[in-house]
Amino acid sequence: MSAALQSEGLTVEQYLADEQEREIRHEYVAGETYAMAGTTDAHNSICGNLHAALHRHLRGGPCKLYIADVKARVFVEGKYFFYYPDLMVTCDPRDTEPLFKSFPKLIIEVLSDSTDRHDRTEKFWNYTQVETLEEYVLVAHDRVTATIFRRANGWKAEVRDQPTAEIIFASAGLKMLLSEVYEGIPLKATYFLDTSFAKPA
């Protein structure tokens, strides 16, 4: 999410109506909207690799896969949030709204320099309050590193940082090598990822 504030005090209804007319996507954070930043080719390629693998695996089943343009609606402590996950899987029959989904099972965010901290603080806290969410996965765009958080494991971080390591999307029943996630992207050395998470102030 970009740090550029666009407007304040919008109702959910106003936001959804305005978003339909806007060329640039905006996320909604408790009445405020923020313009989404653009992505790099590496970010795009990683999303594409993940989408291709998940699409093949889920095809024909009850679960639906969404990439980038469908919002996740989150309700936390009396406030609404609307985010655009890079990838989102929902299997809940209640998810019938065309503009957003409220019952995701798996959310994947591909990190960027501008979203890294936001994805690991505010979004982590809010996403993990969603009762149906089983996994939240963060994938670095500039290093071979994926961090998986699972409800079944108390949302503790599981870091994979070797190309030959296997990443398991247990909620979707899919296993991939990390090298498949980064296929077509020059691989760099791993780096330390801060895995301490706290509720945002």
Closest C-alpha to 51, from 176, 185, 186: 176
> Domains in the chain and their CATH numbers?
40-181 (3.90.1570.10)
Would you write out the chain's pLDDT as a tens digit for each of its 201 residues? 343 444 557 889 998 998 888 888 888 898 888 888 777 889 999 999 999 999 999 999 999 999 988 999 999 999 999 999 999 999 999 999 999 999 999 999 999 877 777 788 889 999 999 999 999 999 998 889 999 999 999 999 999 999 999 999 999 999 999 999 999 987 654 443 444 444 554
CA distance 185 to 181: 9
Q: What is the pTM of this model?
A: 0.86
Cα distance between residue 198 and residue 200, in whole Å? 6
Burial (CB < 10 A; 0-12, 13-18, 19+), residue 161, is middle
Question: Which parts of 33-153 fold into alpha helices (H)?
Answer: 41-58, 116-120, 122-127
Non-local (6+) Cβ contacts of 200 within 8 A are 121, 122, 125
Return the pLDDT at 191.
40
Strands 64-67 and 100-101: unpaired
- Confidence at residue 200, expressed as pLDDT on a 0 to 100 scale: 52
